[in-house]
Structure 1
Amino acid sequence: MTADQRLLLVHAHPDDESINQGAIMAKYVAEGRGVTLVSCTAGELGEILVPELEHLSPEELAEHRRGELADAMKELGVTDYRWLGGFGTYRDSGMKWHADGHAVAADDVHDNAFWHADLTEAADHLVRVIREVRPQVLVTYDQFGGYGHPDHIQAHRVAMYAAQLAAVPSYRRDLGEAWDIAKIYWGAMSESRLRAGLRMLREAGDTTSFEGMDPEGPLPYFAIKDEDLTAAVDAQEFIDHKMAAMRAHATQITTDGPFFALSNNVGSTAWGIEYFRIAKGTPGPVGQDGFETDLFAGL
């Protein structure tokens, strides 16, 4: 990769990247920055939302979602996307819902599930990528994986550990020359922006999108108070690319689902401004709202 500034994203399943950071991925590609995506599983156990594909086995769904990811990356302009350890190395762990409203590990977890992966082994796969790509910025989930999905939590652990190991000169020299990532961010959703969007949905008469979420009441774990956010990257001009990438993940996202409902009612600000918490590094200059406007700010 020859770009002077390089971003590495680590996600659990195909579609996570488009939902969470599709806009900035397209923005940075258009600006000539390097963008590399590492997906940790192929999402074998994702819920199939296309009736004619409901017959697919987990292995067949994995292959189908591999194609969906390729189509999504074309929409975003990303050419460097990889599977942790190679396609099929780790399997989707699945999940179930806890009574408190967050995800937890399923009762039956496959032996080769990402949730069961040896942390050092999985991290070493990513160390090799980090030392090859040499990104200045890494984006992944927070310690709870946004909403508790075991694969999201494991992706967080692997990404954070790999970033540490990759910076140690004497560690696994066979994986490449040491590289210290300057800034690490955890993707987030702005609580105030989510509340505003929910209010507009409800005022428009939409009571089914994000069902159960009260704009004036408690919100899910992924809604982060604005005081804890560091960066708000405005990529609204690339919202069409993000939405097209989300449509490419047709087995997982429906065009009449809550993501598109929010976009249709609130506009491009709903998904075109993406938020982050800094986990490592020094924040750079901020805009008038007090947030960094670029993940590379200060570098």
Structure 2
Amino acid sequence: MSSTIVFVHAHPDDEASATSGTMTRASQLGHRVVCVYATGGDHGTAPDDLGERSLADLRREEAEASAVVTGTQRLVWLGYSDSGMYGWEQNDAPDALWQADVAVAGRALADVLDAENADVVVGYDWHGGYGHPDHIMVHRITRYAVEVAARRPRYLETTMNRDRMRSLYALAVEAGMMSADQVWDIDAPMDDGNPMGTPESDLHWDVDIAPFIEAKRAALACHASQPDAAGMLQMPPAAFAIAFGHEFYREPARAPGMVAGWPF
């Protein structure tokens, strides 16, 4: 039975790094996949060959290319400006997502859910994975939209498995893949004072996207103007598959315990 699944992301490229494997699998299984972007990513990195286009225009083109890869059938833009990283002066811009009225932005998202008669909506965890202001706002907006939508959809949150990241880092060090100056404390506080991701004990779904790992690489390649995406693509294929071959979700309405399986 097919469903309509709406993924809500802060910026173009977030869908590629966080949920593109799940999106590809869902679309190939016949589900309708919709992606909502809260901002245009206008405070990303402008490439040297940008030309006369704005960065937001370029990133919209990249999002459209990524949608072809993942089989996403509709893109929606809420129209807010990128707030930049935590503490940047862009946080205070009047049109920045960080300054948005949650009720207004949430109602706009709920209108999308209603128009799509959405079965499922996927947002972010409470601190947006790593404390980015726009990611935190996506969490708040999505939670609000779920509450006010005419037909309340099932609600999930994409996040990172902190325990798995710690284990993979330890394996990389043991294998000599990390140099002495590449120390990474997985549990160190990010800009908002919280560690990256979510403990495995708080997760509900482990989605194995190994069969769709090339689609994930291809989706990231659509956003190669951005250093984060380009950096991920520098990883050897085998290492990339290990690092990004699983996508993790919370589902607050479920009982505790992570299930390795398909949530849809």
| Contact in 2 for aligned 1:142/1:156 (Cα 8 Å) | yes
The match for 1:171 is none
Cα distance change of structure 1 residues 164 and 263 upon mapping to structure 2, 3 Å threshold:
farther
| Shift in CA distance, 148/231, structure 1 to aligned 2, threshold 3 Å | same
- The 8 Å contact of residues 224 and 230 in structure 2, kept in 1 or not, is answered as no
Shift of 1:24: 0.5
Gaps of 5+ in 1: 96-103, 167-177
In the alignment, is residue 242 of structure 1 matched against residue 221 of structure 2?
Answer: no
- Please say if 1:159 is aligned against 2:153: no
CA distance in 2, matches of 1:206, 1:260: 17
CA–CA distance in 2 between the matches of 1:212 and 1:51?
Answer: 31
Q: Equivalent residues in 2 for 1:146-185 (5 A)?
A: 146-166=129-149, 178-181=150-153, 183-185=154-156
Unpaired segments ≥5 residues, structure 2: none
Q: Which is higher, the Rg of structure 1 or of structure 2? A: 1
Give 2:251's aligned residue: 278
Q: What is the match of residue 122 of structure 1?
A: 105
- Mapped to 2, the partners of 1:42 and 1:277 lie a distance apart of 26
DSSP 3-state at the match of 2:259: coil
Other structure's SS at 1:199 match: helix
Query: In 1, distance between residues paired with 2:54 and 2:11?
Result: 15
Q: Could you say which residue in structure 1 is the equivalent of 2:82?
A: 92
Asked whether the 8 Å contact 2:45–2:227 carries over to 1, the reply is no
Report the CA distance shift for 1:68/1:256 in structure 2 as closer, same or farther (over 3 A): closer
The answer on 1:225 being equivalent to 2:225 is no
Tell me by how many angstroms 1:256 deviates.
Answer: 5.9
- Alpha-carbon offset, residue 193 of structure 1: 2.0
Corresponding residue number in structure 2 for 1:80: 74
Is the Cα contact below 8 Å between 2:40 and 2:82 reproduced in 1?
yes
Matching of residue 137 in structure 1 with residue 120 in structure 2: yes
**Matching residue within 9, 12, 21 for 1:11:** 9
CA–CA distance in structure 2, aligned partners of residues 155 and 163 of structure 1: 12
Q: Deviations over 1:129-166 (max 9, x none)?
A: 11111222221111211111111111111110011011
**Which amino acid in structure 1 is aligned with residue 3 of structure 2?**
Q
2:34 pairs with 33, 36, 56, which one?
Answer: 36
Q: CA deviation at 1:32?
A: 0.6
Contact 1:246/1:253 (<8 A) preserved? no
Q: 2:163 aligns with which of 192, 195, 203?
A: 192
Alignment equivalent of 1:252, drawn from 226, 232, 241: 226
| Number of aligned residue pairs | 258
Output the CA distance in 2 between the equivalents of 1:105 and 1:153. 14
1:51/1:82 CA distance change after superposition, 3 Å: same
Q: Which of 15, 20, 23 is equivalent to 1:22?
A: 20
Secondary structure of residue in 1 paired with 2:207: strand
Partner amino acid for 1:234?
D
Deviation at 1:22, TM superposition (A): 0.7
In structure 2, the CA distance between the partners of 1:11 and 1:270, relative to structure 1 (3 Å rule), is same
- Tell me if 1:66 matches 2:60: yes
RMSD (CA atoms): 2.6
Question: When the two structures are superposed, what TM-score results if normalisation uses the length of structure 1?
Answer: 0.78
What does the per-residue CA deviation read over 1:61-113, in whole Å, with 9 as the maximum and x for residues that have no partner?
Answer: 000100011111111121211112xxxx3111112xxxxxxxx2423432211
AA aligned to 1:268 is A
1:239 aligned partner, one-letter code: I
Normalised TM-score (structure 2)? 0.87
Q: Aligned pair in 2 of structure 1 residues 14, 256: CA closer, same or farther (>3 Å)?
A: closer
CA distance in 1, matches of 2:142, 2:184: 30
